[in-house]
Amino acid sequence: MNALEQKIIERIKREGPITFERFMEAALYDPDFGYYTSQTLRIGRGGDFYTSSHLHPVFGAIVGRQIEEMWKFMGRPADFTIVEMGAGAGFVCKDMLDYHKASEFFRSLRYIIIERNLSLRELQKDLLAGYAGIVEWAGSLQEVGGIRGCIFSNELLDAFPVHLVSMEEELKEIYVAASEFKVREDPGPLSTDGISEYVSKFSLRLEKGYRTEVNLRIKEWLKNIDAVLAEGFAFTIDYGYTAREYYSEERDRGTLMCYYRHQLGEDPLQNIGEQDITAHVNFSSVSRWGEEIGLKTLGFCGQGAFLVSLGIDEEIREKASGSKDSLFEIARIKNLILPQGMGESHVVMIQYKGAGVPELRGFSVRNRIKYL
């Protein structure tokens, strides 16, 4: 039993069983021992997970190409702010700025990284030392103030703590209880009306034995974006589905996954604080809750189609006629766009707050917005 598990057990002894959502929050974000707050967190091929930004610098360049189009739609403002939430090692920021540093767009930029993990922040600062006049850091979105620009995230929402529910004679919520030395699941009543409202809103029909997740934190996150974003875009990349796909009959065990040193697991009650815990994103909820507060959904599609729309194939052709390592580089780029890589598992959604309805190049090949 490690220190975090002991801390959680002591809490349960004082307070009684806690919802899985509160357990997941402690496992990932406990200020002393949480997975994402740990001073030993490692991201990339040597750690527990890596993201699109670790595959090739072209990912950040193409993301920047789409954000540059947003800047142009807004009239090329002299002060345009990009806020990146969950920046990991900082590669997207660096690759985007490297690619655009000779442009007018670059000269208008202010780049803010939201990062609570202080050791990770230091790594980001080392990587981005060449952009000290442009990049700054904050601990939360609320610290940023009103901006015009783009709030960007890559694999952020999947790490939001989720409620676990199971359909028995009626819908039950999964709590975490404890014996003397071990935590265990304990079904109980729904902890919040928000869960039943969610089930009704997305017309979920769950058969007996069906187990899945409900992410209510997304709604609060969108409200925080709305409070900060005076005008501009919310640009979200993550792995997820529409509500119909997420809660389909064949997905009756949900999407919860654990990653421990690149090994996939299904038990979040093991390696507490030492493994990543994620759940796919219901992008229908991102769209609908966003629309309710004035964030218009402009597009939704797989990452592969999005990157191809923005010209990543041009980069492949350039590499094919370039360096001696071109085959290796092409393979890494293809992993960003092919279905067996991240091309279909990861999806892109862009929302907009402001006048008009921008048409973005990233959705020119495919836009699945009607399926939301």
Please count the other Cβ atoms lying within 10 Å of the Cβ belonging to residue 248.
Answer: 11
Is 46 among the domain residues?
no
301 found inside a domain = yes
Per-residue pLDDT tens, the chain, 372 aa: give them.
Answer: 899 999 999 999 999 999 999 999 999 999 999 999 876 655 544 454 445 444 457 889 999 999 999 999 999 999 999 999 989 999 999 999 999 999 999 999 999 999 999 999 999 999 999 999 999 999 999 999 899 999 999 999 999 999 999 999 999 999 999 987 899 999 999 999 999 999 999 999 999 999 999 999 999 999 999 999 999 999 999 999 999 999 999 999 999 999 987 789 989 999 999 999 999 999 999 999 999 999 999 999 999 899 999 988 776 666 555 555 665 666 666 566 666 666 578 999 999 999 999 999 999 999 999 999
Is residue 167 helix, strand or coil?
strand
Which of 208, 229, 263 marks a domain boundary? Answer: 208
Q: Of 175, 208, 241, which marks where a domain is finished? A: 208
CATH code: domain of residue 80 = 3.40.50.12710
* pLDDT (0 to 100) of residue 208: 96
Q: Is residue 36 part of a domain?
A: no
Q: Is 200 found in the same domain as 220?
A: no
34 lies in some domain: no
Residues 136 and 278 in one domain: yes
- The answer on 275 and 155 residing in a single domain is yes
Give the pLDDT confidence score for residue 40 in this predicted structure.
64
Distance CA 244, CA 88 (A): 30
The beta strand positions in the chain, using DSSP E, are 18-19, 80-85, 109-114, 135-138, 147-154, 163-167, 171-178, 183-188, 211-214, 229-241, 257-260, 263-265, 276-278, 281-282, 296-302, 346-353
- pLDDT for 128 equals 97
State how far the Cα of 300 lies from the Cα of 302, in Å rounded to an integer.
7
Angle between helix axes 326-337 and 58-73 (nearest 10 degrees) is 50
Q: Which of 347, 345, 355 is nearest to 296 (CA)?
A: 355
Q: Is residue 260 part of a domain?
A: yes
Q: What is the pLDDT of residue 343?
A: 53
The answer to whether residues 94 and 197 belong to one domain is: no
pTM, two decimal places: 0.91
- Within a domain: 358: yes
Do 63 and 13 belong together in one domain?
no
The pair of structure tokens assigned to 93 is: 């920021």
The answer to whether residue 39 sits within a structural domain is no
| β 109-114/296-302 pair status | unpaired
Are residues 291 and 181 part of one domain?
no
* Residue 172 belongs to domain spanning: 3-29+164-208
Asked if residue 10 is part of any domain, the answer here is yes
* Same structural domain, 321 and 339: yes
> What's residue 181's pLDDT?
84
Q: Is 2 exposed, middle or buried (0-12, 13-18, 19+ CB in 10 A)?
A: exposed
Matching residue, tokens 């780029």: 333
Last residue of a domain, one of 151, 175, 208: 208
Same domain, 184 and 246: no
How far is it, in rounded angstroms, from Cα 51 to Cα 91? 10
CB-CB contact of 229 with 245 (8 Å): no
Are both 124 and 245 inside the same structural domain? Answer: yes
**One domain, residues 24 and 91:** no
Work out how many domains the chain is built from and give that number: 2
Residues 112, 240 within the same domain: yes
Query: 286 and 140, same structural domain?
Result: yes
* Residue 73 structure tokens: 């739609």
Please report the pLDDT score of residue 52 as a whole number.
46
pLDDT at 45: 46
How high is the pLDDT of residue 314?
74
